[in-house]
């Protein structure tokens, strides 16, 4: 009896220490979290116990927050070894998922696919009750699958995790939700992605946690860029960078700084893009990013240099991307090929640019990255036109324009349409979503717009819908952009015509 009581008390103490360490991590106090976890681990009488495995996984995550990817990998492996000896299914699933995530973060392509396969098998075998106790398993495996370009699997795991965290109110909800929004955006479900990420941002704002808000704004910036709402993208990126910078942790600042840099190059600010990508990425090697994010950054830097008329500078960034091992990361490989196609086209090597852009589109098609594939296809069409292959260019550009418009990637669709017009093809300008019934707005945007029609102020709308005023302003800005208006009165007028109550 006394032994069982001591075991129970020890488990409670470890659980309390883990809970405190997690709180310190979300507050940005990663050093304090590591010290607390090391102390708890040193006090355990049994080094191969469930408590030891849990502490090692928490130590691995704490290491990642300080940029120690090797530490994450080592601790995850130690936890998995313990879990395997204990025969604890849920513990083994969670530690396997963390091993897969560590491999993705460390760019360990030679072991990543097998690690993800094993983790997914274990997670899928858990009941909802088992997974709810260690729901981070779905988070780790889902984000690993994103990095490998397995979007269908990632969406399935993250959606399951979202449903469980929604029911239990666990803090992983925001990270699961932003992951889903990113996947939806990549697959071309931009409208749904906009709604999903708006929910994540709102929950992060209401939580008062700056770190969660920085992560959510990172994804909102990326979704808004894909949607073509560049003012919103830059605003989200700037706010996200400010939040992350307040934490003083470059490993949190780097992702949102990268998102802002990508938004700026799309918005026609190559110097600003270059500055953000290099500042927040840690310099020309972009050491704070995974292979995929580095290639994404190098492609944006390539565009920035070309916009500034510096072809050789652009070629230098492409060469950096080409020096990386992208054999295991289809999206990294595709971005590298697209960057090379841009430089080839700038040099007048049109046929070679066609081949490189087509390779990028084929890779992106294979993994279901619908928007990215259509962007590569637009570049292929430009190169075909430069190679005097007008009919082929028209065929490719028509496909790109139609696919992008269907996804809701309005600005990218407009880019393809402009290329078609240059080739003498008339393209009917597609509306930005204004259609009878819902006016092309998301459910939340329409809800906010109807309250504007009713004469409510932003403060009153926020109180009625249990939102922050900042979120109401964001929804209203999106509604203005989609409906092509600039005032509340004009919004009410358009909505009364196309979506009457």
pTM (two decimals): 0.85
Tens of pLDDT, residue by residue over 35-59, are: 887 787 778 888 888 889 999 998 8
| Residue 170 confidence (pLDDT) above 70 | no
Same domain, 208 and 330: no
Q: Which of 405, 430, 455 is where one domain is finished?
A: 430
pLDDT attached to residue 431: 47
Environment class of 323 (CB within 10 Å of its CB; exposed 0-12, middle 13-18, buried 19+)? exposed
Tens of pLDDT, residue by residue over 452-491, are: 887 788 888 888 877 778 888 888 887 887 777 777 877 7
| Residue 3 confidence (pLDDT) above 80 | no
Tokens encoding 36: 């607390």
Local confidence band at 279 (pLDDT 50, 70, 90 cut-offs): very high
Are the C-beta atoms of 410 and 372 separated by less than 8 Å? no
Same domain, 343 and 244: no
Please report, rounded to a whole number, the percentage of residues in the chain having pLDDT higher than 90. 59
Q: What is the mean pLDDT of residues 284-313?
A: 95
pLDDT attached to residue 280: 94
| Residue 404 confidence (pLDDT) above 80 | yes
pLDDT attached to residue 121: 97
Tokens encoding 227: 């949607």
Q: Which of 385, 400, 430 is where one domain is finished?
A: 430
Same domain, 178 and 303: no
| Distance separating alpha carbons of residues 253 and 300, to the nearest angstrom | 18
| Residue 26 confidence (pLDDT) above 90 | no
Same domain, 392 and 424: yes
Tens of pLDDT, residue by residue over 487-500, are: 787 777 777 766 65
| Residue 433 confidence (pLDDT) above 70 | no
pLDDT attached to residue 429: 60
Could you report how far apart the first and last alpha carbons of the chain are, in Å? 67
Compute the CA torsion angle 67, 68, 73, 79 (nearest 10 deg): -110
Residue 73: inside a domain: no
| Distance separating alpha carbons of residues 124 and 111, to the nearest angstrom | 20
Residue 52: inside a domain: no
CATH number, domain at 200? 1.25.40.10
Tokens encoding 391: 């009919």
Local confidence band at 371 (pLDDT 50, 70, 90 cut-offs): very high
Block residue for tokens 């409208």: 191
Q: What is the mean pLDDT of residues 293-303?
A: 96
Radius of gyration of the chain (CA): 24
| Distance separating alpha carbons of residues 220 and 477, to the nearest angstrom | 14
Tokens encoding 495: 């909505």
Same domain, 337 and 232: no
| Residue 309 confidence (pLDDT) above 80 | yes
Whole-number average pLDDT of the chain: 88
pLDDT attached to residue 259: 96
Count of H-run helices and E-run strands, the chain: 26, 0
Q: b or e along 475-501 (b: 16 or more beta carbons within 10 Å of the residue's beta carbon)?
A: bbebbbbbbebeebeebbebbeebbee
Are the C-beta atoms of 217 and 179 separated by less than 8 Å? no
Please report, rounded to a whole number, the percentage of residues in the chain having pLDDT higher than 70. 90
| Residue 145 confidence (pLDDT) above 50 | yes
Q: What is the mean pLDDT of residues 331-355?
A: 97
| Distance separating alpha carbons of residues 19 and 238, to the nearest angstrom | 31
Local confidence band at 19 (pLDDT 50, 70, 90 cut-offs): low
| Distance separating alpha carbons of residues 61 and 501, to the nearest angstrom | 49
| Residue 437 confidence (pLDDT) above 80 | no
| Residue 78 confidence (pLDDT) above 60 | yes
| Distance separating alpha carbons of residues 286 and 360, to the nearest angstrom | 22
Tens of pLDDT, residue by residue over 98-142, are: 999 999 888 888 889 999 999 999 999 999 999 998 999 999 999
Residue range of the domain that includes 181:
171-270
Local confidence band at 28 (pLDDT 50, 70, 90 cut-offs): low
| Residue 10 confidence (pLDDT) above 80 | no
Neighbours of 163 (CB within 10 A): 16
Tens of pLDDT, residue by residue over 238-255, are: 999 999 998 888 888 899
Residue 46: inside a domain: no
pLDDT attached to residue 500: 59
Q: How many domains does the chain have?
A: 3
Same domain, 295 and 242: no
Find, among 182, 458, 161, the residue nearest to 296 by Cα. Answer: 182
What residues contact residue 265 under an 8 Å CB cut-off, 6+ apart? 273, 300, 303, 304, 307
Same domain, 311 and 394: yes
pLDDT attached to residue 382: 98
DSSP codes of every residue in 54-108: HHHHHHHHHHHHTT-HHHHHHHHHHHHHHHHHHT-HHHHHHHHHHHHHHHHHTT-
| Distance separating alpha carbons of residues 207 and 243, to the nearest angstrom | 14
Residue 78: inside a domain: no
pLDDT attached to residue 489: 75
| Residue 434 confidence (pLDDT) above 80 | no
Same domain, 328 and 396: yes
Local confidence band at 436 (pLDDT 50, 70, 90 cut-offs): very low
For the chain, what's the residue count? 501
Residue 280: inside a domain: no
| Residue 294 confidence (pLDDT) above 90 | yes
Are the C-beta atoms of 386 and 353 separated by less than 8 Å? yes
Environment class of 195 (CB within 10 Å of its CB; exposed 0-12, middle 13-18, buried 19+)? middle
pLDDT attached to residue 498: 63
Same domain, 179 and 201: yes
Same domain, 230 and 352: no
CATH number, domain at 463? 1.10.10.10
DSSP codes of every residue in 388-441: T-HHHHHHHHHHHHHHHHHHT-HHHHHHHHHHHHHTT---PPPPSS--TTTTT-
Q: Which of 235, 270, 305 is where one domain is finished?
A: 270
Read off the DSSP letter of residue 180: H
| Residue 330 confidence (pLDDT) above 60 | yes
Angular region, 320: left φ>0, alpha ψ -120 to 50, beta rest: alpha
| Distance separating alpha carbons of residues 366 and 275, to the nearest angstrom | 33
Please indicate whether residue 494 or residue 169 has the higher confidence score (pLDDT).
494
Tokens encoding 255: 């992702």
Residue 152: inside a domain: no
Please indicate whether residue 442 or residue 223 has the higher confidence score (pLDDT).
223
Are the C-beta atoms of 438 and 256 separated by less than 8 Å? no
Residue 110: inside a domain: no
| Residue 370 confidence (pLDDT) above 90 | yes
Residue 102: inside a domain: no
Are the C-beta atoms of 370 and 186 separated by less than 8 Å? yes
Max mean pLDDT among 18-27, 36-45, 142-151 falls in 142-151
Same domain, 193 and 259: yes
Find, among 228, 216, 158, 157, the residue nearest to 190 by Cα. Answer: 228
pLDDT attached to residue 25: 67
CA quadruple 142, 144, 147, 150: dihedral sign: negative
pLDDT attached to residue 7: 53
Same domain, 420 and 305: yes
pLDDT attached to residue 339: 98
């Amino acid at each position: 009896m006394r032994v069982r009581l001591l075991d129970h008390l020890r488990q409670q103490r470890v659980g309390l220490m883990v809970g405190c360490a997690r709180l310190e991590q979300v507050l940005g106090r990663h050093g304090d979290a590591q010290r607390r976890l090391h102390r708890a681990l040193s006090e355990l009488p049994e080094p191969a116990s469930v408590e030891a495995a849990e502490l090692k996984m928490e130590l691995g995550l704490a290491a990642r927050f300080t940029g120690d990817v090797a530490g994450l990998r080592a601790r995850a492996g130690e936890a998995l070894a313990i879990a395997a000896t204990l025969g604890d299914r849920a513990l083994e699933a969670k530690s396997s998922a963390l091993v897969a995530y560590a491999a993705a973060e460390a760019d360990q392509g030679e072991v990543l696919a097998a690690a993800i396969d094993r983790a997914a098998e274990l997670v899928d075998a858990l009941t909802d009750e088992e997974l709810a106790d260690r729901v981070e398993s779905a988070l780790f495996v889902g984000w690993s699958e994103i990095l490998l370009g397995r979007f269908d699997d990632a969406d399935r795991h993250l959606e399951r995790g979202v449903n469980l965290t929604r029911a239990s109110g666990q803090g992983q909800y925001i990270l699961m939700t932003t992951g889903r929004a990113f996947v939806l955006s990549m697959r071309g479900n931009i409208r749904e992605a906009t709604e999903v990420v708006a929910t994540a941002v709102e929950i992060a704002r209401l939580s008062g946690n700056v770190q969660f808000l920085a992560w959510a704004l990172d994804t909102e910036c990326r979704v808004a860029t894909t949607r073509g709402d560049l003012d919103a993208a830059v605003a989200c990126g700037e706010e996200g960078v400010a939040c992350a910078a307040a934490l003083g942790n470059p490993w949190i600042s780097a992702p949102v700084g990268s998102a802002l840099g990508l938004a700026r190059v799309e918005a026609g600010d190559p110097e600003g893009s270059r500055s953000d990508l290099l500042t927040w990425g840690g310099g020309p090697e972009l050491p704070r990013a995974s292979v995929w994010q580095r290639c994404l950054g190098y492609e944006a830097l390539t565009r920035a240099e070309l916009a500034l008329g510096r072809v050789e500078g652009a070629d230098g960034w492409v060469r950096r991307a080409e020096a990386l091992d992208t054999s295991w990361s289809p999206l990294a490989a595709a971005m590298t090929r697209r960057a090379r196609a841009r430089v080839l086209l700038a040099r007048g090597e049109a046929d070679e640019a066609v081949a490189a852009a087509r390779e990028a589109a084929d890779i992106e098609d294979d993994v279901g990255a619908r928007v990215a594939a259509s962007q590569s296809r637009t570049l292929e069409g430009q190169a075909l036109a430069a190679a005097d292959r007008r009919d082929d260019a028209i065929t490719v550009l028509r496909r790109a324009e139609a696919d992008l418009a269907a996804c809701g990637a309005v600005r990218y669709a407009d880019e393809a349409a402009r290329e078609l017009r240059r080739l003498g093809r008339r393209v009917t300008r597609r509306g930005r979503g204004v259609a009878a019934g819902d006016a092309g707005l998301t459910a939340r945007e329409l809800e906010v717009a109807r309250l504007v029609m009713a004469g409510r102020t932003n403060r009153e709308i926020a109180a009625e819908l249990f939102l922050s005023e900042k979120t109401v302003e964001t929804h209203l800005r999106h509604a203005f952009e989609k409906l092509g208006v600039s005032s509340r009165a004009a919004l009410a007028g358009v909505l009364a015509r196309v979506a009457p109550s």
